[in-house]
Amino acid sequence: MATAFYGTIVLKGNSGRQQVDRFSNTDVTLGYCLFDSQGGTGLLPVRENGMITDLITNITAAGDTKTFKLIIDGVDTGIRWVQSASFPTINNRFFVSNPVAVRAGQTIQIQAIA
C-alpha cells in the first residue's frame, strides 16, 4: 500500500542564499513531488543561478517507489537516484556529493519512478 512521504529540497544560489522548500509525494509510481511554496503544484521555480545541493525525504526505508528522476524545464535530465540516497540517516546524500546546476527562471520537477 502506498504511503505519503515528505521531503526537503535545498538549492544554493551563486549569491550564497539558499532556496529551501518542502514537498510531498504519495509514493506511487509516476507520482510527482508537490511543493509547499507553490500551493501543492509539481513545479518549483528556481530563484537564482546556483545548484541543487541536497534533497532529504522523511522516511528511512523504501516504500512503493524506489527511484526518483529529475526534470528541469520539462526536459528529463537523465538524472536518476535511488530513494535510499535521500534518507535523512545518510550523511552523503545524492545531491550533496553530486550537485546539479540550475539557472534562475528554470522549473524543477521530481518524479517518483519504479
Query: Is the pLDDT higher at 29 or at 54?
Result: 54
Q: Which residues contact 38 (CB under 8 A, 6 or more apart)?
A: 21, 44, 45
Q: How many CA atoms within 13 Å lie on the side-chain side of 43?
A: 8
The predicted model scores a pTM of 0.88
Domain that holds residue 19: 5-113
C-alpha cell at 61: 526505508
Question: How large a percentage of the chain has pLDDT more than 90?
Answer: 62
For residue 91, is it left (φ>0), alpha (ψ between -120 and 50) or beta?
Answer: alpha
- What pLDDT shows up at residue 18? 98
Q: How far is 36 from 11, CA to CA, in rounded Å? A: 15
Output the average pLDDT for the chain. Answer: 89
Residue 60 CB-density burial (10 A; 0-12 exposed, 13-18 middle, 19+ buried): exposed
Total structural domains in the chain? 1
**Segment 79-102, tens digit of pLDDT:** 999 888 888 888 889 999 999 999
